[in-house]
Amino acid sequence: MAVEGLAAFRNHLTKKVPEALRDQIKRDLEKWAEELVAMMRRLVPRDQGRLAQSIGWTWGEAPAGSITIGEVGGRKYGTMRITVYAGDETTMVTNKRGHKFQNAAIQEFGTKARASSPYFWPSYRSLKKRGKSRVARNMRKVIKSLN
């Protein structure tokens, strides 16, 4: 027994739904990344103005000289990957022995001689649930609207 419209239904599921979901997820991740970057910039110590300016996000790889603070998505499967980063060549610091370090990491985690001033992890923990909920809620809306 043949089912009418089965080919059209499969086409709908394999093409239209993933494209619509991908577009919505992309918008939601961008909004979450903007919120995360804004909060991180607010939490960086005031005397670290250049570091605050260097915090940002991008699709794919972080700029040269920066450290990747977090990623959503995956390299392994070639899916959408948003990267939050901090620091650049101008935020590098040199210790007494002449070794260079990224100030972004020093501020977040500290050293033996310097206390930490975390800005990433508090921001991430604060906004993680909101971002996940937004993505899930909007995915349901997109799927319902395509039926």
- Gap between the Cα atoms of 14 and 91, Å rounded: 46
pLDDT tens for residues 33-82?
999 999 999 999 888 889 999 999 998 888 887 877 666 665 554 567 88
Mutual orientation of helices 17-43 and 120-145 as an angle, nearest 10°? Answer: 160
- Written as six digits, the tokens of 47 are 């005397």
Higher pLDDT, 74 or 5: 5
Is the pLDDT assigned to residue 9 strictly greater than 70? Answer: no
**Predicted TM-score (pTM) above 0.75:** yes
Q: Residue 4's pLDDT is what?
A: 76
Angle at Cα 70 formed by Cα 117 and Cα 93, nearest 5°?
45
What is the tens place of the pLDDT at every residue in 104-118?
998 999 988 889 999
Cα 121 to Cα 141: distance, rounded to the nearest angstrom: 30
